[in-house]
A and B are shown apart, each in its own frame.
Chain A
Amino acid sequence: MTETGSVPLVALRGVTKRFGDVVANRAVDLEIGRGEVIALVGENGAGKSTIVNMLSGVFPPDEGTIEIDGAATGFTGPAASVEAGIGVVHQHYMLVPTLTALDNIALQASELGLWKIDRRALGDRAGAVAEALGFRFDRDQRIDSLDVAHQQRIEIIKALIHEVRLLVLDEPTAVLGADDKARLFDTISGLKRQGVSVVLITHKLEDIFAVADRAVILRNGAVAADLPVKDLSPETIVTHMVGSDAEARSELEIQPETVHPEHPVGEAVCRVRDVTLRRPNGSVAVSGLSLDLHAGEIVAVAGVDGNGQSEFVHCLAGLQRPDEGEIDCLGLNSRARTWSPARLRRAGVSHIPEDRRHSGIVAEMTLAKNYLLSHLDRPDVFRLGLLRNHHLGQVVDGLLNAFKVRAPGSGALMKTLSGGNQQKIVLARELDGDPKLILATHPSRGLDLNTIAFVHKTLEQTRDAGKAILLLSSDIDEILKIADRIIVFAGGRTFGPAPCRDLTRQTIGAWIAGHEDIEA
């Protein structure tokens, strides 16, 4: 908390923001003291990113003011916010994938018009920032050759290259594995020591306790609670987040550590034989992979991101072919011409892609049209080859209800939804219909606690209904909670598959680190 008497670094006073009928922020009061780390939490669509967008000058509040050092400020645009010392890493990265790290940084600087670009000076400055943070910075590396954790570091460097007094991070931990997350928290603590304030948006309760001094909990756009973390417990946070909504609460009832009941496992829908996968640059991502996916089971693929998991899922989705070995899936073979996304989808493969924003949605289209993306062959939405808009709208509205998507209706444009709600739509779409094999890549990423519980329940029900599910996740808790078998990708080789109930956390941890097993 800011000591009484001292002026907060940044303060929002009675800030309200509306989008049409939607009130994204309602009379929000928020003070950010110097050197303070604030966790900003709330359900999907609670209004967190909207606050970030106002702090970074993307749009002004409709009512209320933003004060910096006690003086009301009207940001005229992103440059003004940067100049005021606010650095932001947005929920969706703003990097140009085909440019190098340094070019991306230079691009921002020039767009902000803050200085004439002296690439060398800029590079040196970026290098210095990276070093202070303990990052390795290769200025000539192209963004699309970096994994998300490293892209995030470039974003952080990009934000810190200016004199920053407040760093805002919108859901940075959603995409990070345990190690990268720990490193990010070290960075935050380091900034705090230098007197920089940090606002951290997260859906993970443990993050709050790991780094934050104070938690601000949003509910329906309004501040529901603003308390020091030491006075909070996970239960109180959840209570503030969902309010008195008893139904929502009940979904979060802590289930006892599931003792995996025996599931009757059906026949194999997909056989993977001695598959070797290469990355675009030719290096081996995975070799000698064999795996059967059966109807009625959830098989988890675990491991640190970038160990071939994405390539494997791409393969099963028909987006690439194995370099060696073969896959038989629902009557299609990976060596045949028919191995394509269209054919596999028609055969019953549904795919929740890893980078949903990039490859899972069309931002400029309505929610209804986004649903159509994977249901173009659904017979009842077309009559005589013509789209039945009204009927489609009803179908999608039903799904929005089932998944509790916060959206005005199926006619809303995808880009007007909050990040988490966009994710929900992709999930809802891919689980709908009658898929036989579901490739679920990080299904709970970016979702709030309620929704994660709901997604887990849905995946289990889907499994029990006799579908095969491949779950790609970097969260061991999630895997142990719902998966039946696990296979770990590490350093070009694979461990398992083995039934989850036969494994300890330690063993899985050792596999992920690339060891056969821990010494007893």
Chain B
Amino acid sequence: MTGTALRMPALLVIGFLVAMVIAAILLAGADPASVAYGIIERALFTRAGLLEALLRAIPLTIMGLGIAIAFKARIFNIGMDGQLIAGSVLAVVAAPLLPGNIAGIVFFLALGFLGGAVWGGIAGVIKARFGGNEIIATIMLNYVAVQLLSWLVRGPLQEKMKIIPRSDAIDQALRLPVLFDGTRIHAGLIVAILAVAIVALVMLRGRFGYRLAVVGANDHAARYAGISPAWMAAAVLILSGALAGLAGAVEVAGLYGRLQEGFAPGFGIAAIAVALVARLNPLLVPVSAFGFSLLYSGLGALARNGVVPFPLINILEGAIILVFLAATVALRHGGGQTREAPESGARADG
């Protein structure tokens, strides 16, 4: 329960994982030092690596904010992948109706936001109205969304040529403009920065943010104070779903210009790691997102160069995320002793 109580186990986890990773790399016949160097070199010392990381950090930041909101209220939204798909599908479907100017871009993003909100809202209703578990609901909705996308890009939304399972490209005027010539960094960066500012204000200084913190910390006290935990759960799922949908629309409008299968692989889970490492603090989310993106860009280089076998990349990725999480636990100050006496497990209000 306290930071101090968890420090030992956290350090053990770190040690264990590091040992495992090194062993795995050795077994694969590579040199751990050069693998580590490869990751770091690509990520930190090449322009391409840094830019790739920045590009990746855009959606991860927006989604990490959504997770921070949800987890703060102790609502575990595991369904960001589905919400992201729902948002991008809605935006792409409605794209032909949008005007080809700035307003159109704003509408496009707003539709992504809306689509994600609806997908998150379904889980919200299940949770608030019927008391269903949001973890199960959001995971199930992920499957639905993935299947839906897969059907759409092979059926009604498939491109005119009907060859590749993907949609037609959206109007060039709806694409997010590139900010810096010679890079792929697009205006989604501005969206992400705005999102950080707004979410930070809401979470740290707003009534809504206060309510979510109360619901997350003590839902009995929330009820007595007139804050309905069920209502908050629904609101939180809608909002974090909306942010996932927005991230989806940004990816489509900024990078791909069309819908295709698996265009944001594993972002939902990565966003959880991003938010947890940022300790649910919206101002730290972009930092954490960029850190993870550097990691991905380094790992991506390894995979392309064939230094280590591909499955090991996934193992490395998972292990590094876990090490990060364990480290944030181990480094957290316990804040001295907590008042309540001994056994953490016996806390009535835990």
Contacts and interface: CB of A to CB of B under 8 A. Distances in A.
Interface string A79-117: 000000000101011111100000010011001100000
Contacts of B341: 52-53, 56, 58, 78, 88, 90, 94
B306 interface: no
B339 A416 contact: yes
A56 B342 contact: yes
Given A362-B221, A364-B217, A108 B340 contact: no
A52 B211 CA distance: 35
A413 B210 CA distance: 15
Interface string A410-454: 000101110000000000000000000000000000000000000
A345 B226 CA distance: 7
B226 A108 contact: no
A510 interface: no
A512 interface: no
B218 A108 contact: no
Interface string A343-371: 11110000101000111111111000100
B348 A358 contact: yes
B46 to A, nearest CB: 42
A358 B220 contact: yes
Contact of B228 (A94, A104, A108, A340): A340
* Chain B interface extent, by class: 20 to 34
Given A358-B348, A363-B218, A387-B206, A342 B224 contact: no
A373 B342 contact: no
B201 A386 contact: yes
Interface string B309-349: 00000000000000000000000000111111111011111
A111 B217 contact: no
B348 A97 contact: yes
A345 B225 contact: yes
A111 B326 CA distance: 23
B237 to A, nearest CB: 20
A78 B342 contact: yes
Contact of B210 (A94, A95, A387): A387
A323 B128 CA distance: 24
Interface in A312-347: 317-319, 340-346
B226 A341 contact: yes
Contacts of B205: 386-387, 389
Interface in B203-220: 205-207, 210-211, 213-214, 217-218, 220
A341 B210 contact: no
Contacts of B342: 56-58, 77-78, 94, 111
Contacts of A53: 341
Interface string A398-410: 0000000000000
A280 to B, nearest CB: 15
A362 B340 CA distance: 13
Nearest to B202: A385
A309 interface: no
A351 B224 contact: yes
Nearest to B225: A373
Interface in A172-230: none
B223 interface: yes
A372 interface: yes
Interface in A53-84: 53, 56-59, 77-78
Nearest to B336: A19
Nearest to A99: B346
Contacts of B338: 415
B222 to A, nearest CB: 8
B224 A362 contact: no
A374 B226 CA distance: 8
Most A CB contacts (10 A, CB to CB) among B218, B335, B345 go to B218
B169 interface: no
Given A372-B210, A385-B206, A94 B340 contact: yes
B227 interface: yes
A20 B217 CA distance: 24
Contacts of B213: 365, 369
Contacts of B337: 19, 58-59
Contacts of A413: 335
A20 B224 contact: no
A498 interface: no
Contact of B346 (A57, A94, A362, A376): A94
Residue of B339, B340, B348 ringed by the most chain A CB atoms within 10 A: B339
Contacts of A342: 226-228
A136 B45 CA distance: 73
Interface in B185-244: 201, 205-207, 210-211, 213-214, 217-218, 220-221, 223-228
A22 to B, nearest CB: 11
Interface in A8-39: 19-20
Given A78-B343, A111-B346, A317 B224 contact: yes
Interface of A: 19-20, 52-53, 56-59, 77-78, 88, 90, 92-97, 104, 107-108, 111-112, 317-319, 340-346, 351, 353, 357-365, 369, 372-374, 376, 382, 385-387, 389, 413, 415-417
29 contacts: A52-B341, A58-B342, A93-B348, A94-B341, A94-B343, A95-B348, A108-B343, A111-B345, A111-B346, A317-B224, A319-B224, A341-B223, A341-B225, A346-B226, A351-B224, A357-B349, A359-B220, A362-B221, A363-B217, A363-B218, A363-B349, A369-B210, A373-B221, A376-B207, A376-B210, A376-B225, A382-B207, A385-B207, A387-B210
6 closest A-B pairs (Cβ-Cβ)? A342-B226, A78-B342, A341-B226, A359-B220, A94-B346, A386-B205
Given A58-B341, A342-B228, A387-B205, 18 more contacts: A59-B337, A88-B341, A90-B341, A94-B342, A96-B348, A97-B348, A340-B228, A341-B226, A342-B226, A358-B220, A359-B218, A361-B221, A362-B214, A363-B340, A386-B201, A387-B210, A415-B339, A415-B340
